[in-house]
Each structure stands twice: as C-alpha cells, then as structure tokens.
C-alpha cells in the first residue's frame, strides 16, 4: 500500500491539521503516517497552539527512518528549530515527492522574523515538488496584496522563482467571481483550476488540498493530474463540511 507521511500540527476538533490529512490519505486508499509538530486546545474561548518539544519531533522523525514513503506533506512548523529539524531529516529523501504547505504561523510574524522564516523556509522548499500557499500566505511572503487574476499569476510566478519549486496558489473564494479559483505555476507554464463556490465550511480545506495532492503524487500522478484531482477532492470535502470543518471521509 502507498505510504504517505504528514508532518503537521494536531487540530483538537479534527477540522484541519494532521487529523484532516490522515482522513484524506485514508479516503484516497493510501496508508497515512504522522509526525506531530504541535497540539491545540480551546482555553477560555481562545484557540491556543503548543509546540511539541523539538527533541520529541526529532525522535518521531528518527522512528520513521526505515519507512519508504511515496510522498510527504509538510504543514505547520511552529518554530525555526522545528523547521531546521525537518530540513535535516529531509536531506536523504530529496527524491521523495514533497508538498509544502506554508502554514508556519506566518500571520503573526514581524518583518525581521518573517525574513528569518523565509530564509529557512527556502531550504525546505528546495526539496519540494510543489508549495501550496493560500492567498494571505502568498501575500505575506511577497509583501503585497494579490487582488485579481493578473496579480495571482504574477504572484505564483514570483513565488516559484523565489523558492525554486512549483506553486499551487489557493485563492478559492478570495478573488471576486462566481467560482473558487486556484492557480498552478510549474515549469514555466500556468493553469487555472476552477470549481463552483462550495457552501460549506472551508476550515481545513488547505490541509486537505495539500494532503490529497501529496497522496495523488505518491500514487504516480504527475503534478498537473494530481492538482486537478486534488481540486475536485477538496471541493467535495467542502460541500460535505460539518460545523468543525471539511469532511474528507464523506467524499466518495
């Protein structure tokens, strides 16, 4: 059976994070493995993130050394130390398809910290087949707003050049229009992926997109095929969403 690894944070409500990743991987007929980078809790109506001690992450990854993964998905990395540990572990696995979802906790980073994150992030991106930022993450990495389709195309090209990897830019409903719009830039060519605007919760949709993309790549699809299949899968998961987030298990 195809073996897929997710290195990601835990979502206590299972709407996103490694729980959504594992649900997606399983639903697509592969076997999911997980290394946990952080845990979450709802404390006094505030969603809190607690990083796993770096030594524990290092031990988790070392435990997986002997597993031959068909693909790897990376999600939330709560600190630069966690990022460096993952980078070191990836070095002998440079040929394994890697999907990089730049969650990182970027949203709270100031300019200096963001620069440090970006520099460290470039190292992991060098191993990746594709990175999957959403629109706010792309804007933060680029330092400017992306307001329309022309911005989307230019932003994806710039990210690809900066990080040395293909880019699946998740715009979804954030670009005005009747469809959920994503844009893929790879090997000097760009293409749009479109779907009707789904009405369900989109919590966890980025995790499901990235983990389904990793699974399809691990199952032998090329990036174009995997991107189209992942777009269809995440759209169906959004349509089946419950109050906690998207529902990969409901996708047939």
Q: Model confidence over 138-194: pLDDT tens digits? A: 998 898 999 999 999 999 999 999 999 999 999 877 777 778 899 999 999 999 999
> What band does 117 get if pLDDT is binned at 50, 70 and 90?
confident
Strand partners, 170: 134, 182
Q: Between the ranges 67-71, 80-84, 194-198, 239-243, where is the mean pLDDT highest?
A: 67-71
> What band does 98 get if pLDDT is binned at 50, 70 and 90?
very high
Round the average pLDDT of the chain to a whole number and report it: 91
- pLDDT of residue 109 exceeding 70: no
Going through 78-201 in order, the beta strands assigned E by DSSP cover: 98-100, 130-131, 166-172, 179-186, 189-196
- pLDDT of residue 64 exceeding 70: yes
Q: What is the pLDDT of residue 198?
A: 75
The domains located in the chain, with CATH, are 3-250 (3.40.1190.20)
Q: How far apart, in whole angstroms, are the C-alpha atoms of residue 151 and residue 201?
A: 26
**Strand 71-74 relative to strand 46-51: parallel, antiparallel, unpaired?**
unpaired
Q: Model confidence over 5-49: pLDDT tens digits? A: 999 999 999 989 999 999 999 999 999 999 999 999 989 888 888
> Residue 100's CB: how many other CB atoms inside 10 A?
26
pTM: 0.94
H or E stretch including 35? strand 31-36
Which stretch of 81-90, 113-122, 221-230 has the lowest confidence by average pLDDT?
Answer: 113-122
Q: What is the pLDDT of residue 26?
A: 97
Q: Under DSSP, is residue 67 helix (H, G, I), strand (E, B) or coil?
A: coil
Q: How far apart, in whole angstroms, are the C-alpha atoms of residue 119 and residue 135?
A: 20
At what angle are helices 111-125 and 80-90 packed, to 10 degrees? 10
Contacts with 202 (C-beta within 8 Å, 6 or more apart), sequence order? 172, 173, 238, 241, 245, 246
CB 64 within 8 A of CB 5: yes
> What band does 196 get if pLDDT is binned at 50, 70 and 90?
confident
Q: What is the pLDDT of residue 56?
A: 98
Q: What is the pLDDT of residue 143?
A: 87
């Amino acid at each position: 059976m195809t073996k897929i690894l997710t290195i990601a944070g835990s979502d206590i409500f299972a709407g996103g994070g490694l729980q959504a990743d594992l649900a997606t991987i399983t639903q697509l007929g592969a076997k999911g493995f997980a290394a946990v980078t952080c845990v979450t809790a709802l404390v006094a109506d505030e969603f809190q993130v607690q990083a796993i001690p770096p030594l524990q992450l290092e031990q988790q990854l070392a435990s997986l050394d002997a597993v031959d993964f068909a693909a790897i998905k990376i999600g939330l990395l709560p600190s630069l130390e966690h990022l460096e540990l993952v980078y070191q572990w990836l070095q002998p696995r440079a040929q394994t398809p890697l999907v990089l979802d730049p969650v990182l906790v970027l949203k709270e980073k100031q300019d200096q910290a963001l620069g440090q994150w970006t520099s460290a992030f470039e190292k992991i991106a060098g191993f990746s087949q594709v990175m999957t930022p959403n629109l706010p993450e792309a804007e933060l990495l680029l330092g400017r707003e992306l307001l329309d389709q022309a911005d989307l195309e230019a932003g994806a090209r710039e990210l690809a050049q900066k990080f040395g990897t293909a880019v699946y830019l998740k715009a979804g409903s954030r670009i005005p229009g009747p469809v959920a719009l994503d844009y893929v830039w790879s090997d000097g060519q760009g293409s749009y992926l479109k779907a009707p605007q789904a009405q369900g919760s989109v919590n966890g949709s980025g995790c499901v997109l990235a983990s389904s993309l990793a699974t399809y790549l691990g199952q032998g699809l090329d990036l174009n095929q995997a991107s189209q299949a992942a777009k269809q899968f995440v759209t169906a998961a959004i349509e089946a969403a419950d109050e906690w987030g998207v529902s990969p298990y409901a996708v047939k």
